[in-house]
Amino acid sequence: MKDQLIEKIMEEVMKKVDQPKAEVKAEECKPQQKFCGLTEFVGTAIGDSIGLVIANVDNQLHEAMGLDKKYRSIGILGARTGAGPHILAADEAVKATNTEIIKIELARDTKGGAGHGCLIIFGAEDVSDAKRAVEVALKELDRTFGDVYANDAGHLEFQYTARASYACNKAFNAPLGKAFGLIVGAPAAIGVLIADTAVKAANVDVIGYASPAGGTSFSNEVILFISGDSGAVRQSIIAAREVGVKLLGTLGEEPKPVTVPYI
């Protein structure tokens, strides 16, 4: 009787061992959003990004920052890694809210990498608008990081919008309402070649060019800003992306998109 009981127990144990493990859903693998309990905290996102809001900026700080007096509330979007994705995300946020881009500053950062971090300030008369702008921008980052490719040697970044708004205009002098594209190559040598590739691939207007000693925070990258017909801008970006991925891949592992490509 005792032997039969032991055999039965062992049989049940072996059934459990043989059973396939339940699949873990992708959502369950994502890190949980951390909260700090402060009313100024809006949220965090990819790229070590943090969103904050100040309902009523102190008078002395308001003056020191050079803010328009009508904007008592500000939304703050800052990140260690990104810049381009954040500016395009902010561009969508401005379109969706009653806010204005007050400042866009690009820090030499990327946590020691070749590119920038960023600080973006939204101005609003009502704190709810400032908070909403930050929320929209944080949500957009998952999309705008889709065409960022990286390995240990550097990174590539491609951004596109069919209708540039005030964030792109302030940061890159992009014509309002026209298609706009951003092409980044780091190290800078790759950036020069893919910039040339982009301009040769379609009929686009070059509205800006930045390099380590001019237009960047001395970062090891070249950035090209283009505008024009929507189809032409996309064609230029796609051509540059194809060449850039091949070149960066010679310096290390095959560069993979950070999220899901959208261009």
Interval 137-173: pLDDT, tens: 999 999 999 999 999 999 999 999 999 999 999 999 9
Measured distance CA(144)–CA(147) in Å, rounded: 7
Residues forming a β-bridge with 181: 160, 226
Q: Which position has the higher pLDDT, 25 or 100?
A: 100
CB of 165 closer than 8 Å to CB of 94: yes
Measured distance CA(74)–CA(20) in Å, rounded: 52
pLDDT tens track for 45-81: 999 999 999 999 999 999 999 998 889 999 999 999 9
One-letter amino acid identity for 51? Answer: G
Residue 32's CB is within 10 A of a number of other CB atoms, namely 5
Q: Exposed/middle/buried for 211, CB within 10 Å: 0-12, 13-18, 19+?
A: middle
Residue with tokens 């959208």: 262
CB of 133 closer than 8 Å to CB of 97: yes
CB of 241 closer than 8 Å to CB of 198: no
> What is the pLDDT, as a whole number, of residue 27?
43
Measured distance CA(154)–CA(212) in Å, rounded: 14
> What is the pLDDT, as a whole number, of residue 18?
52
Dihedral angle over CA of 126, 129, 132, 137, nearest 10: -120
Residue 177: what are its φ and ψ, rounded to 5°?
A: 85, -5
> What is the pLDDT, as a whole number, of residue 4?
55
Q: Residue 238 pLDDT more than 90? A: yes
Measured distance CA(103)–CA(111) in Å, rounded: 22
The distance of Cα 209 from the centroid of its chain, to the nearest Å, equals 20
Give, in order, the Cα–Cα distances in Å from 180 to each of 24, 91, 212, 237: 39, 11, 22, 10
